[in-house]
Structure 1
Amino acid sequence: MEKIRKASHAGSWYTDNPLELEEQLDGWLRAAGLVKSSDVRGVIAPHAGYSYSGRAAAYAFGNIDPTNISRIFLLGPSHHYYTPKCALSRATVYKTPIGDLPIDEEVNDELKATGHFEYMDLRVDEAEHSMEMHLPYLAKVFQGYPVKIVPILVGALSAESEALYGRFLAKYVDDSKNFFSVSSDFCHWGSRFNYIHYDKSHGAIYKSIEVLDKMGMDIIETGDPDAFKLYLSETDNTICGRHPISVFLHMLKNSSTKIKIRFLRYEQSSQCKSMRDSSVSYASAVGKVDG
Protein backbone atom coordinates (compact mmCIF):
# COMPACT_ATOMS: atom_id res chain seq x y z
CA MET A 1 0.00 0.00 0.00
CA GLU A 2 1.26 3.46 -0.94
CA LYS A 3 2.37 5.58 2.01
CA ILE A 4 2.91 9.20 1.06
CA ARG A 5 5.28 11.70 2.63
CA LYS A 6 3.77 15.07 1.79
CA ALA A 7 5.92 17.99 0.60
CA SER A 8 5.33 19.50 4.05
CA HIS A 9 7.59 22.55 3.56
CA ALA A 10 6.21 23.52 0.13
CA GLY A 11 4.37 26.82 0.37
CA SER A 12 6.66 28.07 3.15
CA TRP A 13 10.32 27.13 2.60
CA TYR A 14 9.84 27.10 -1.17
CA THR A 15 6.95 27.74 -3.53
CA ASP A 16 4.26 25.10 -3.92
CA ASN A 17 3.42 26.43 -7.40
CA PRO A 18 4.85 23.85 -9.85
CA LEU A 19 5.41 26.32 -12.72
CA GLU A 20 7.03 28.89 -10.47
CA LEU A 21 9.24 26.25 -8.86
CA GLU A 22 10.37 24.84 -12.24
CA GLU A 23 11.16 28.37 -13.42
CA GLN A 24 13.14 29.17 -10.29
CA LEU A 25 15.18 25.97 -10.41
CA ASP A 26 15.79 26.38 -14.15
CA GLY A 27 17.00 29.93 -13.59
CA TRP A 28 19.43 28.97 -10.84
CA LEU A 29 20.74 25.95 -12.77
CA ARG A 30 21.28 28.07 -15.89
CA ALA A 31 23.02 30.80 -13.89
CA ALA A 32 25.41 28.24 -12.37
CA GLY A 33 26.45 27.39 -15.94
CA LEU A 34 27.75 23.92 -15.12
CA VAL A 35 28.46 21.00 -17.41
CA LYS A 36 26.82 17.69 -16.47
CA SER A 37 29.31 14.91 -15.81
CA SER A 38 28.73 11.17 -15.41
CA ASP A 39 31.74 11.16 -13.05
CA VAL A 40 29.73 13.09 -10.45
CA ARG A 41 28.48 10.51 -7.96
CA GLY A 42 27.47 12.70 -5.05
CA VAL A 43 26.83 16.20 -3.78
CA ILE A 44 26.93 18.11 -0.53
CA ALA A 45 24.28 20.84 -0.69
CA PRO A 46 22.47 23.21 1.69
CA HIS A 47 18.93 22.84 2.99
CA ALA A 48 17.68 26.32 3.94
CA GLY A 49 14.64 28.01 2.42
CA TYR A 50 15.20 28.53 -1.30
CA SER A 51 15.22 32.32 -0.98
CA TYR A 52 18.40 31.85 1.09
CA SER A 53 20.17 28.81 -0.34
CA GLY A 54 18.45 27.93 -3.62
CA ARG A 55 21.05 29.67 -5.75
CA ALA A 56 24.01 28.09 -3.92
CA ALA A 57 22.43 24.61 -4.15
CA ALA A 58 22.33 24.84 -7.96
CA TYR A 59 26.13 24.58 -7.99
CA ALA A 60 25.82 21.06 -6.56
CA PHE A 61 22.77 19.76 -8.46
CA GLY A 62 23.72 21.34 -11.79
CA ASN A 63 26.61 18.88 -12.22
CA ILE A 64 24.48 15.75 -12.21
CA ASP A 65 24.17 13.62 -15.32
CA PRO A 66 21.03 11.53 -14.62
CA THR A 67 21.54 9.08 -17.50
CA ASN A 68 22.98 6.05 -15.70
CA ILE A 69 21.76 6.65 -12.14
CA SER A 70 18.85 4.59 -10.83
CA ARG A 71 19.07 5.15 -7.05
CA ILE A 72 19.72 8.18 -4.83
CA PHE A 73 20.77 7.87 -1.21
CA LEU A 74 19.75 10.97 0.75
CA LEU A 75 21.62 11.67 3.99
CA GLY A 76 20.21 14.46 6.13
CA PRO A 77 20.67 15.59 9.73
CA SER A 78 17.85 15.43 12.27
CA HIS A 79 16.77 18.84 13.57
CA HIS A 80 13.82 17.91 15.81
CA TYR A 81 14.05 14.22 16.64
CA TYR A 82 16.77 12.72 18.80
CA THR A 83 18.23 9.36 17.87
CA PRO A 84 21.78 8.00 18.29
CA LYS A 85 21.19 5.92 15.12
CA CYS A 86 20.27 6.34 11.48
CA ALA A 87 16.58 6.11 10.61
CA LEU A 88 14.81 4.96 7.45
CA SER A 89 11.52 6.24 6.07
CA ARG A 90 8.25 4.32 6.41
CA ALA A 91 6.90 6.15 3.35
CA THR A 92 6.79 4.52 -0.08
CA VAL A 93 6.82 7.81 -1.98
CA TYR A 94 8.11 11.35 -1.35
CA LYS A 95 5.96 14.05 -2.95
CA THR A 96 7.29 17.26 -4.54
CA PRO A 97 5.29 19.92 -6.42
CA ILE A 98 7.10 18.93 -9.63
CA GLY A 99 7.06 15.13 -9.46
CA ASP A 100 7.15 12.30 -6.98
CA LEU A 101 10.13 10.17 -5.97
CA PRO A 102 9.46 6.53 -5.01
CA ILE A 103 11.37 4.92 -2.13
CA ASP A 104 13.58 1.91 -2.87
CA GLU A 105 11.90 -0.45 -0.41
CA GLU A 106 14.24 -3.31 -1.27
CA VAL A 107 17.32 -1.37 -0.13
CA ASN A 108 15.37 -0.12 2.91
CA ASP A 109 14.71 -3.75 3.90
CA GLU A 110 18.35 -4.64 3.28
CA LEU A 111 19.55 -1.82 5.56
CA LYS A 112 16.98 -2.63 8.25
CA ALA A 113 18.15 -6.25 8.24
CA THR A 114 21.62 -5.15 9.43
CA GLY A 115 20.04 -4.35 12.81
CA HIS A 116 21.64 -0.91 12.91
CA PHE A 117 18.85 1.18 11.37
CA GLU A 118 15.54 2.19 12.91
CA TYR A 119 12.40 3.54 11.23
CA MET A 120 11.17 7.08 11.74
CA ASP A 121 7.44 7.54 11.71
CA LEU A 122 5.76 9.78 9.16
CA ARG A 123 5.30 12.63 11.63
CA VAL A 124 9.08 12.82 12.24
CA ASP A 125 9.72 12.41 8.51
CA GLU A 126 7.43 15.30 7.55
CA ALA A 127 8.68 17.61 10.31
CA GLU A 128 12.27 17.31 9.02
CA HIS A 129 13.33 19.67 6.23
CA SER A 130 16.96 18.63 5.66
CA MET A 131 16.23 16.04 2.96
CA GLU A 132 13.05 17.63 1.63
CA MET A 133 14.96 20.73 0.49
CA HIS A 134 17.00 18.50 -1.87
CA LEU A 135 13.91 16.83 -3.38
CA PRO A 136 12.69 19.51 -5.84
CA TYR A 137 16.20 19.80 -7.31
CA LEU A 138 16.47 16.02 -7.61
CA ALA A 139 12.97 15.75 -9.11
CA LYS A 140 13.99 18.43 -11.62
CA VAL A 141 17.35 16.94 -12.58
CA PHE A 142 15.95 13.38 -12.81
CA GLN A 143 12.75 14.31 -14.65
CA GLY A 144 11.95 11.53 -17.11
CA TYR A 145 14.44 9.10 -15.53
CA PRO A 146 13.21 6.11 -13.45
CA VAL A 147 15.03 6.79 -10.20
CA LYS A 148 14.30 5.59 -6.64
CA ILE A 149 15.44 7.17 -3.39
CA VAL A 150 16.75 5.89 -0.05
CA PRO A 151 16.28 8.65 2.56
CA ILE A 152 18.43 8.18 5.66
CA LEU A 153 17.92 10.47 8.65
CA VAL A 154 21.33 10.66 10.33
CA GLY A 155 21.00 11.04 14.09
CA ALA A 156 23.40 12.36 16.73
CA LEU A 157 26.03 9.72 16.02
CA SER A 158 29.19 9.03 17.98
CA ALA A 159 32.47 8.93 16.07
CA GLU A 160 32.32 5.11 16.26
CA SER A 161 28.79 5.05 14.82
CA GLU A 162 29.75 7.39 11.98
CA ALA A 163 32.53 4.96 11.04
CA LEU A 164 30.19 1.97 11.41
CA TYR A 165 27.49 3.43 9.12
CA GLY A 166 30.20 4.51 6.67
CA ARG A 167 31.39 0.89 6.46
CA PHE A 168 27.82 -0.42 5.98
CA LEU A 169 27.06 2.01 3.17
CA ALA A 170 30.46 1.88 1.41
CA LYS A 171 29.44 -1.03 -0.83
CA TYR A 172 26.76 1.16 -2.43
CA VAL A 173 29.45 3.62 -3.55
CA ASP A 174 30.99 0.86 -5.67
CA ASP A 175 27.82 0.56 -7.76
CA SER A 176 27.97 3.36 -10.34
CA LYS A 177 24.15 3.43 -10.55
CA ASN A 178 24.00 4.87 -7.03
CA PHE A 179 24.13 8.58 -6.24
CA PHE A 180 24.52 10.36 -2.88
CA SER A 181 22.89 13.61 -1.84
CA VAL A 182 24.29 14.86 1.48
CA SER A 183 22.43 17.68 3.22
CA SER A 184 24.22 20.31 5.31
CA ASP A 185 24.34 24.02 5.98
CA PHE A 186 27.60 25.44 7.31
CA CYS A 187 28.31 27.94 10.10
CA HIS A 188 25.26 29.18 12.04
CA TRP A 189 26.69 32.35 13.59
CA GLY A 190 25.20 34.67 16.19
CA SER A 191 23.92 34.68 19.75
CA ARG A 192 20.65 33.02 18.65
CA PHE A 193 22.75 29.99 17.61
CA ASN A 194 24.94 30.22 20.73
CA TYR A 195 27.98 30.58 18.52
CA ILE A 196 29.95 33.83 18.28
CA HIS A 197 33.49 32.66 17.48
CA TYR A 198 35.32 35.69 16.04
CA ASP A 199 38.99 35.92 15.05
CA LYS A 200 39.61 39.66 14.64
CA SER A 201 42.82 39.02 12.69
CA HIS A 202 40.66 38.20 9.64
CA GLY A 203 38.89 41.57 9.63
CA ALA A 204 35.10 41.83 9.75
CA ILE A 205 33.06 39.09 11.46
CA TYR A 206 31.78 37.69 8.14
CA LYS A 207 35.38 37.32 6.93
CA SER A 208 36.28 35.40 10.09
CA ILE A 209 33.26 33.10 9.50
CA GLU A 210 34.37 32.53 5.90
CA VAL A 211 37.90 31.58 6.96
CA LEU A 212 36.48 29.17 9.54
CA ASP A 213 34.08 27.55 7.03
CA LYS A 214 36.69 27.31 4.28
CA MET A 215 39.09 25.60 6.65
CA GLY A 216 36.39 22.95 7.21
CA MET A 217 35.64 22.72 3.48
CA ASP A 218 39.36 22.18 2.73
CA ILE A 219 39.48 19.36 5.28
CA ILE A 220 36.34 17.73 3.83
CA GLU A 221 38.04 17.87 0.40
CA THR A 222 40.94 15.78 1.76
CA GLY A 223 38.39 13.00 2.41
CA ASP A 224 39.76 12.38 5.91
CA PRO A 225 36.92 11.81 8.43
CA ASP A 226 39.30 11.92 11.42
CA ALA A 227 40.72 15.30 10.39
CA PHE A 228 37.14 16.61 9.99
CA LYS A 229 36.27 15.32 13.49
CA LEU A 230 39.33 17.07 14.93
CA TYR A 231 38.41 20.32 13.15
CA LEU A 232 34.90 20.17 14.65
CA SER A 233 36.18 19.51 18.16
CA GLU A 234 38.73 22.34 17.91
CA THR A 235 36.43 24.99 16.39
CA ASP A 236 32.93 23.87 17.46
CA ASN A 237 31.78 25.15 14.06
CA THR A 238 28.00 24.79 13.92
CA ILE A 239 27.85 22.72 10.72
CA CYS A 240 24.42 21.12 11.12
CA GLY A 241 25.11 18.26 8.68
CA ARG A 242 28.36 17.27 10.37
CA HIS A 243 27.11 13.70 10.99
CA PRO A 244 25.89 13.06 7.40
CA ILE A 245 29.15 14.54 6.06
CA SER A 246 31.20 12.33 8.41
CA VAL A 247 29.28 9.21 7.39
CA PHE A 248 29.82 10.13 3.73
CA LEU A 249 33.57 10.58 4.30
CA HIS A 250 33.74 7.15 5.97
CA MET A 251 31.79 5.64 3.04
CA LEU A 252 34.29 7.05 0.55
CA LYS A 253 37.23 5.94 2.68
CA ASN A 254 35.89 2.35 2.78
CA SER A 255 34.88 1.99 -0.87
CA SER A 256 37.18 0.86 -3.65
CA THR A 257 35.86 3.59 -5.99
CA LYS A 258 37.97 6.69 -5.46
CA ILE A 259 35.77 9.76 -5.20
CA LYS A 260 37.16 13.25 -4.65
CA ILE A 261 35.04 15.99 -3.06
CA ARG A 262 35.38 19.52 -4.42
CA PHE A 263 33.53 22.63 -3.24
CA LEU A 264 32.24 24.90 -5.98
CA ARG A 265 30.24 27.57 -4.16
CA TYR A 266 30.16 29.37 -0.83
CA GLU A 267 27.64 31.97 0.32
CA GLN A 268 26.38 33.55 3.55
CA SER A 269 22.76 34.54 4.25
CA SER A 270 24.01 37.99 5.33
CA GLN A 271 27.29 39.69 6.21
CA CYS A 272 27.76 39.90 9.97
CA LYS A 273 29.47 43.11 11.01
CA SER A 274 28.42 43.44 14.65
CA MET A 275 27.89 41.00 17.50
CA ARG A 276 24.13 41.59 17.22
CA ASP A 277 24.06 40.15 13.68
CA SER A 278 23.52 36.53 12.66
CA SER A 279 24.01 34.47 9.52
CA VAL A 280 24.01 30.96 8.11
CA SER A 281 26.58 29.78 5.57
CA TYR A 282 25.83 27.62 2.52
CA ALA A 283 28.38 25.53 0.65
CA SER A 284 27.92 23.26 -2.37
CA ALA A 285 30.25 20.46 -3.38
CA VAL A 286 30.46 17.56 -5.81
CA GLY A 287 31.93 14.12 -5.29
CA LYS A 288 33.59 13.06 -8.53
CA VAL A 289 35.21 9.80 -9.56
CA ASP A 290 38.95 10.41 -9.31
CA GLY A 291 41.12 8.91 -12.03
Structure 2
Amino acid sequence: MKELRDRSPAAIGFYPGNKQALKEMIKECYLSEFGPKSLPKVNPEGPRNIIACVAPHAGYYYSGPVAAHLYRAIANDGKPDSFVLIGPSHMGYPGASIMVEGNWIMPEGRVPVDTILAKSILKSGQIILDDDSAHMSEHSLEVQLPFLQELYEDLKIVPIAMGMSDWETCKEVGVGVAEAIKKENANAIIIASTDLTHYGMMYGYAPAGRGPVEKVIKWVHDTDGKIISKIESLDAEGLLKLVRREDLTMCGAAPVTSAIIAAKELGATKGIKLQYATSYDIRGSSDAIVGYLSAIIIK
Protein backbone atom coordinates (compact mmCIF):
# COMPACT_ATOMS: atom_id res chain seq x y z
CA MET A 1 0.00 0.00 0.00
CA LYS A 2 1.33 3.42 -0.94
CA GLU A 3 2.31 5.57 2.04
CA LEU A 4 0.36 8.82 2.28
CA ARG A 5 2.85 11.68 2.17
CA ASP A 6 2.46 15.36 2.90
CA ARG A 7 4.41 17.70 0.66
CA SER A 8 6.36 20.47 2.38
CA PRO A 9 6.78 23.91 0.76
CA ALA A 10 9.58 24.09 -1.81
CA ALA A 11 9.05 27.64 -3.10
CA ILE A 12 9.33 29.87 -0.04
CA GLY A 13 11.13 32.92 -1.42
CA PHE A 14 8.90 33.05 -4.47
CA TYR A 15 6.36 34.20 -1.88
CA PRO A 16 6.71 35.03 1.85
CA GLY A 17 6.72 32.13 4.26
CA ASN A 18 5.10 34.23 6.98
CA LYS A 19 1.29 34.02 6.81
CA GLN A 20 0.62 37.71 7.45
CA ALA A 21 3.38 38.89 5.13
CA LEU A 22 2.00 36.58 2.45
CA LYS A 23 -1.48 38.06 2.81
CA GLU A 24 -0.06 41.57 2.50
CA MET A 25 1.96 40.69 -0.59
CA ILE A 26 -1.06 39.13 -2.32
CA LYS A 27 -3.05 42.28 -1.54
CA GLU A 28 -0.25 44.39 -3.06
CA CYS A 29 -0.34 42.23 -6.20
CA TYR A 30 -4.04 42.97 -6.69
CA LEU A 31 -3.61 46.69 -6.09
CA SER A 32 -0.43 47.05 -8.17
CA GLU A 33 -0.22 49.27 -11.24
CA PHE A 34 0.05 46.06 -13.28
CA GLY A 35 -2.62 44.25 -11.26
CA PRO A 36 -6.40 44.59 -11.52
CA LYS A 37 -6.31 47.47 -8.97
CA SER A 38 -9.10 45.96 -6.88
CA LEU A 39 -9.42 43.07 -4.44
CA PRO A 40 -11.35 39.95 -5.46
CA LYS A 41 -14.59 38.70 -3.98
CA VAL A 42 -15.91 35.24 -4.76
CA ASN A 43 -19.28 35.38 -6.49
CA PRO A 44 -21.18 32.27 -5.29
CA GLU A 45 -23.66 32.76 -8.13
CA GLY A 46 -20.94 33.10 -10.76
CA PRO A 47 -21.58 31.64 -14.23
CA ARG A 48 -18.71 29.11 -14.08
CA ASN A 49 -17.73 29.72 -17.68
CA ILE A 50 -13.99 29.28 -17.12
CA ILE A 51 -12.83 25.82 -18.15
CA ALA A 52 -9.09 26.38 -18.12
CA CYS A 53 -6.59 29.18 -17.72
CA VAL A 54 -2.94 30.17 -17.92
CA ALA A 55 -1.02 31.51 -14.92
CA PRO A 56 2.60 32.68 -14.45
CA HIS A 57 4.83 31.17 -11.77
CA ALA A 58 7.71 33.53 -11.00
CA GLY A 59 8.29 35.25 -7.68
CA TYR A 60 5.32 37.36 -6.62
CA TYR A 61 7.52 40.48 -6.70
CA TYR A 62 7.66 40.00 -10.47
CA SER A 63 4.69 38.01 -11.76
CA GLY A 64 2.24 38.42 -8.88
CA PRO A 65 0.37 41.44 -10.35
CA VAL A 66 -0.18 39.56 -13.62
CA ALA A 67 -1.38 36.47 -11.75
CA ALA A 68 -3.80 38.62 -9.73
CA HIS A 69 -5.83 39.33 -12.89
CA LEU A 70 -6.47 35.62 -13.28
CA TYR A 71 -7.48 34.99 -9.69
CA ARG A 72 -9.89 37.90 -9.68
CA ALA A 73 -11.49 36.45 -12.82
CA ILE A 74 -11.75 33.02 -11.19
CA ALA A 75 -13.41 34.58 -8.12
CA ASN A 76 -15.93 36.42 -10.31
CA ASP A 77 -16.69 33.18 -12.17
CA GLY A 78 -17.92 31.34 -9.08
CA LYS A 79 -16.80 28.49 -6.86
CA PRO A 80 -15.09 25.42 -8.37
CA ASP A 81 -14.70 22.34 -6.21
CA SER A 82 -11.26 21.39 -7.53
CA PHE A 83 -8.35 22.75 -9.54
CA VAL A 84 -6.34 20.57 -11.88
CA LEU A 85 -2.89 22.19 -11.89
CA ILE A 86 -0.59 21.34 -14.81
CA GLY A 87 2.89 22.81 -14.77
CA PRO A 88 6.39 22.25 -16.15
CA SER A 89 8.93 20.13 -14.33
CA HIS A 90 11.92 22.42 -13.87
CA MET A 91 13.60 19.55 -12.02
CA GLY A 92 13.88 17.49 -15.21
CA TYR A 93 11.35 14.73 -14.57
CA PRO A 94 10.33 13.23 -17.95
CA GLY A 95 6.79 12.68 -19.12
CA ALA A 96 3.79 13.57 -16.95
CA SER A 97 3.57 12.81 -13.23
CA ILE A 98 0.54 13.10 -10.97
CA MET A 99 0.18 13.07 -7.19
CA VAL A 100 -3.00 11.18 -6.26
CA GLU A 101 -2.98 11.35 -2.46
CA GLY A 102 -1.72 13.55 0.35
CA ASN A 103 -1.66 17.20 1.32
CA TRP A 104 0.39 20.20 0.26
CA ILE A 105 1.56 22.08 3.36
CA MET A 106 1.38 25.84 2.91
CA PRO A 107 1.77 28.89 5.20
CA GLU A 108 -2.02 29.27 5.26
CA GLY A 109 -2.71 25.58 5.94
CA ARG A 110 -2.95 22.24 4.19
CA VAL A 111 -4.31 21.81 0.67
CA PRO A 112 -5.58 18.26 0.07
CA VAL A 113 -5.26 16.41 -3.19
CA ASP A 114 -8.63 15.54 -4.74
CA THR A 115 -7.94 11.81 -4.72
CA ILE A 116 -11.13 10.77 -6.52
CA LEU A 117 -10.50 13.05 -9.48
CA ALA A 118 -6.73 12.39 -9.46
CA LYS A 119 -7.19 8.61 -9.62
CA SER A 120 -9.75 9.03 -12.40
CA ILE A 121 -7.26 11.13 -14.40
CA LEU A 122 -4.54 8.53 -13.77
CA LYS A 123 -6.85 5.83 -15.15
CA SER A 124 -7.98 7.89 -18.17
CA GLY A 125 -4.57 9.25 -19.12
CA GLN A 126 -2.58 6.05 -19.04
CA ILE A 127 0.64 7.81 -20.06
CA ILE A 128 0.59 9.72 -16.74
CA LEU A 129 2.78 8.33 -13.96
CA ASP A 130 1.78 8.12 -10.30
CA ASP A 131 4.94 9.79 -8.99
CA ASP A 132 4.96 12.08 -5.93
CA SER A 133 8.69 12.74 -6.27
CA ALA A 134 8.21 14.87 -9.39
CA HIS A 135 6.35 17.40 -7.22
CA MET A 136 8.46 17.60 -4.08
CA SER A 137 10.91 20.30 -5.23
CA GLU A 138 8.87 21.90 -8.03
CA HIS A 139 7.62 25.50 -7.68
CA SER A 140 5.42 26.00 -10.76
CA LEU A 141 2.23 24.68 -9.13
CA GLU A 142 2.94 25.59 -5.53
CA VAL A 143 3.02 29.33 -6.24
CA GLN A 144 -0.61 29.18 -7.40
CA LEU A 145 -1.86 27.93 -4.05
CA PRO A 146 -1.63 31.06 -1.85
CA PHE A 147 -3.77 32.98 -4.35
CA LEU A 148 -6.31 30.15 -4.37
CA GLN A 149 -6.29 29.78 -0.58
CA GLU A 150 -7.17 33.45 -0.22
CA LEU A 151 -10.32 32.75 -2.25
CA TYR A 152 -11.46 29.28 -1.19
CA GLU A 153 -11.32 27.72 2.27
CA ASP A 154 -12.11 24.16 1.10
CA LEU A 155 -9.62 24.11 -1.74
CA LYS A 156 -8.72 20.78 -3.40
CA ILE A 157 -6.16 20.21 -6.14
CA VAL A 158 -4.89 17.65 -8.62
CA PRO A 159 -1.20 18.37 -9.39
CA ILE A 160 0.37 17.23 -12.68
CA ALA A 161 4.00 18.02 -13.60
CA MET A 162 5.18 17.68 -17.21
CA GLY A 163 8.67 17.48 -18.62
CA MET A 164 9.57 18.11 -22.26
CA SER A 165 6.73 16.39 -24.12
CA ASP A 166 5.73 15.70 -27.70
CA TRP A 167 2.30 16.26 -29.24
CA GLU A 168 1.08 12.72 -28.56
CA THR A 169 1.95 12.99 -24.86
CA CYS A 170 0.23 16.37 -24.55
CA LYS A 171 -2.83 14.99 -26.34
CA GLU A 172 -3.08 11.96 -24.06
CA VAL A 173 -2.72 14.11 -20.95
CA GLY A 174 -5.29 16.64 -22.16
CA VAL A 175 -7.83 14.07 -23.27
CA GLY A 176 -7.28 12.08 -20.08
CA VAL A 177 -7.93 15.11 -17.89
CA ALA A 178 -11.08 15.98 -19.84
CA GLU A 179 -12.43 12.43 -19.76
CA ALA A 180 -11.95 12.20 -16.01
CA ILE A 181 -13.63 15.56 -15.38
CA LYS A 182 -16.60 14.41 -17.47
CA LYS A 183 -16.71 10.96 -15.84
CA GLU A 184 -16.67 12.39 -12.31
CA ASN A 185 -18.97 15.29 -13.27
CA ALA A 186 -16.35 17.42 -11.55
CA ASN A 187 -16.78 21.15 -11.02
CA ALA A 188 -13.12 21.81 -11.82
CA ILE A 189 -10.92 24.44 -13.41
CA ILE A 190 -7.67 23.53 -15.15
CA ILE A 191 -4.74 25.88 -14.49
CA ALA A 192 -1.74 25.62 -16.80
CA SER A 193 1.33 27.20 -15.23
CA THR A 194 3.94 28.80 -17.46
CA ASP A 195 6.17 31.78 -17.98
CA LEU A 196 6.76 32.91 -21.55
CA THR A 197 10.04 34.17 -23.03
CA HIS A 198 13.13 33.92 -20.79
CA TYR A 199 15.61 36.42 -22.23
CA GLY A 200 19.16 37.31 -21.25
CA MET A 201 22.59 35.94 -20.46
CA MET A 202 21.21 34.14 -17.39
CA TYR A 203 19.21 31.95 -19.79
CA GLY A 204 21.81 31.83 -22.56
CA TYR A 205 19.22 33.32 -24.88
CA ALA A 206 19.53 36.71 -26.61
CA PRO A 207 18.45 36.40 -30.25
CA ALA A 208 17.80 40.15 -30.53
CA GLY A 209 21.14 41.04 -28.97
CA ARG A 210 21.88 42.59 -25.61
CA GLY A 211 20.59 46.08 -26.33
CA PRO A 212 19.38 48.67 -26.56
CA VAL A 213 16.74 47.58 -24.05
CA GLU A 214 13.88 49.08 -26.09
CA LYS A 215 14.79 46.80 -29.00
CA VAL A 216 14.95 43.75 -26.71
CA ILE A 217 11.62 44.50 -25.03
CA LYS A 218 9.91 44.94 -28.40
CA TRP A 219 11.31 41.59 -29.54
CA VAL A 220 10.08 39.88 -26.33
CA HIS A 221 6.62 41.45 -26.61
CA ASP A 222 6.34 40.50 -30.29
CA THR A 223 7.52 36.93 -29.68
CA ASP A 224 5.20 36.42 -26.72
CA GLY A 225 2.42 37.96 -28.80
CA LYS A 226 2.70 35.02 -31.22
CA ILE A 227 2.37 32.60 -28.30
CA ILE A 228 -0.63 34.47 -26.89
CA SER A 229 -2.33 34.43 -30.29
CA LYS A 230 -2.13 30.63 -30.37
CA ILE A 231 -3.63 30.43 -26.88
CA GLU A 232 -6.46 32.83 -27.72
CA SER A 233 -7.36 30.82 -30.84
CA LEU A 234 -7.07 27.52 -28.90
CA ASP A 235 -4.53 26.24 -31.42
CA ALA A 236 -2.86 23.64 -29.21
CA GLU A 237 -0.85 21.91 -31.90
CA GLY A 238 0.13 25.24 -33.46
CA LEU A 239 1.39 26.45 -30.08
CA LEU A 240 3.62 23.44 -29.55
CA LYS A 241 4.94 23.61 -33.13
CA LEU A 242 5.67 27.35 -32.77
CA VAL A 243 7.67 26.87 -29.58
CA ARG A 244 9.63 23.91 -31.00
CA ARG A 245 10.19 25.40 -34.48
CA GLU A 246 11.45 28.77 -33.25
CA ASP A 247 13.24 27.29 -30.20
CA LEU A 248 11.34 29.59 -27.84
CA THR A 249 12.02 29.60 -24.11
CA MET A 250 8.41 29.25 -22.91
CA CYS A 251 8.86 26.73 -20.08
CA GLY A 252 5.28 25.46 -19.89
CA ALA A 253 4.48 24.81 -23.55
CA ALA A 254 3.46 21.21 -22.85
CA PRO A 255 1.18 22.06 -19.87
CA VAL A 256 -0.55 24.84 -21.82
CA THR A 257 -0.93 22.60 -24.87
CA SER A 258 -2.48 19.87 -22.71
CA ALA A 259 -4.80 22.36 -21.01
CA ILE A 260 -6.06 23.69 -24.35
CA ILE A 261 -6.72 20.14 -25.56
CA ALA A 262 -8.64 19.35 -22.36
CA ALA A 263 -10.59 22.59 -22.51
CA LYS A 264 -11.69 21.98 -26.10
CA GLU A 265 -12.81 18.47 -25.15
CA LEU A 266 -14.90 20.11 -22.42
CA GLY A 267 -16.55 22.60 -24.76
CA ALA A 268 -14.24 25.63 -24.75
CA THR A 269 -14.74 28.11 -27.57
CA LYS A 270 -12.11 30.82 -27.05
CA GLY A 271 -9.18 32.08 -25.03
CA ILE A 272 -8.98 35.59 -23.58
CA LYS A 273 -5.82 37.43 -22.54
CA LEU A 274 -6.35 39.16 -19.20
CA GLN A 275 -2.91 40.69 -18.66
CA TYR A 276 0.56 40.43 -20.11
CA ALA A 277 3.75 42.09 -18.89
CA THR A 278 7.43 41.34 -18.63
CA SER A 279 9.62 41.48 -15.56
CA TYR A 280 11.22 44.57 -17.10
CA ASP A 281 7.83 46.27 -17.46
CA ILE A 282 7.04 45.61 -13.81
CA ARG A 283 10.44 46.02 -12.11
CA GLY A 284 12.75 47.68 -14.63
CA SER A 285 15.59 45.18 -14.49
CA SER A 286 17.07 44.29 -17.90
CA ASP A 287 19.62 41.67 -16.79
CA ALA A 288 17.07 38.88 -17.19
CA ILE A 289 13.68 39.49 -18.80
CA VAL A 290 10.74 37.08 -18.51
CA GLY A 291 7.25 37.36 -20.01
CA TYR A 292 4.18 36.71 -17.85
CA LEU A 293 0.61 35.96 -18.97
CA SER A 294 -2.78 35.54 -17.34
CA ALA A 295 -5.45 34.15 -19.64
CA ILE A 296 -8.75 32.31 -19.40
CA ILE A 297 -10.30 29.69 -21.69
CA ILE A 298 -14.08 29.80 -21.60
CA LYS A 299 -17.21 28.07 -22.88
| TM norm structure 1 | 0.86
- Give the equivalent residue in structure 1 for 2:254: 243
Deviations 1:108-138 (A, max 9, x none): 222333432212234x422110101111111
Q: In structure 1, the residue corresponding to 2:109 is in which secondary structure? A: coil
Q: Distance in 2 between matches of 1:158 and 1:230?
A: 10
Identify if the C-alpha distance between structure 1 residues 172 and 25 changes in structure 2 by more than 3 Å, giving closer, same or farther: farther
RMSD (Å), alpha carbons: 2.5
- Give the equivalent residue in structure 2 for 1:77: 88
- Give the equivalent residue in structure 2 for 1:168: 176
Identify if the C-alpha distance between structure 1 residues 59 and 281 changes in structure 2 by more than 3 Å, giving closer, same or farther: same
Task: Tell me the percent identity.
Answer: 25
Identify if the C-alpha distance between structure 1 residues 169 and 193 changes in structure 2 by more than 3 Å, giving closer, same or farther: same
Give the drift of 1:288.
2.2
Aligned AA for 1:23? E
Deviations 1:18-65 (A, max 9, x none): 111112212323551378653233321111111111111101111113
Deviations 1:195-240 (A, max 9, x none): 222299x961111110110111011100011221232133222100
Identify if the C-alpha distance between structure 1 residues 176 and 93 changes in structure 2 by more than 3 Å, giving closer, same or farther: closer
Aligned AA for 2:246? T
- Give the equivalent residue in structure 1 for 2:5: 3
Deviations 1:248-282 (A, max 9, x none): 11112333x224221111111126xxxx9421111
8 Å Cα contact 1:188/1:279 also seen in 2: yes
Identify if the C-alpha distance between structure 1 residues 100 and 259 changes in structure 2 by more than 3 Å, giving closer, same or farther: farther
The correspondence for 1:155, drawn from 150, 163, 171, is 163
Q: Distance in 1 between matches of 2:123 and 2:175?
A: 15
Give the 5 Å matches for 1:134-283: 134-143=144-153, 146-172=154-180, 174=182, 175=185, 177-198=187-208, 204-255=215-266, 257-270=267-280, 277-283=287-293
Q: Distance in 2 between matches of 1:215 and 1:149?
A: 30
| TM norm structure 2 | 0.84
Q: In structure 1, the residue corresponding to 2:91 is in which secondary structure? A: coil
Structure 2 gap ranges (5+): none
Aligned residues: 278
Give yes or no for the alignment of 1:63 onto 2:73. yes
Identify if the C-alpha distance between structure 1 residues 76 and 154 changes in structure 2 by more than 3 Å, giving closer, same or farther: same
Q: Distance in 2 between matches of 1:262 and 1:172?
A: 25
Q: Distance in 1 between matches of 2:100 and 2:117?
A: 13
Identify if the C-alpha distance between structure 1 residues 277 and 24 changes in structure 2 by more than 3 Å, giving closer, same or farther: closer
Give the drift of 1:6.
1.0
Q: Distance in 2 between matches of 1:111 and 1:170?
A: 8
Give yes or no for the alignment of 1:130 onto 2:132. no
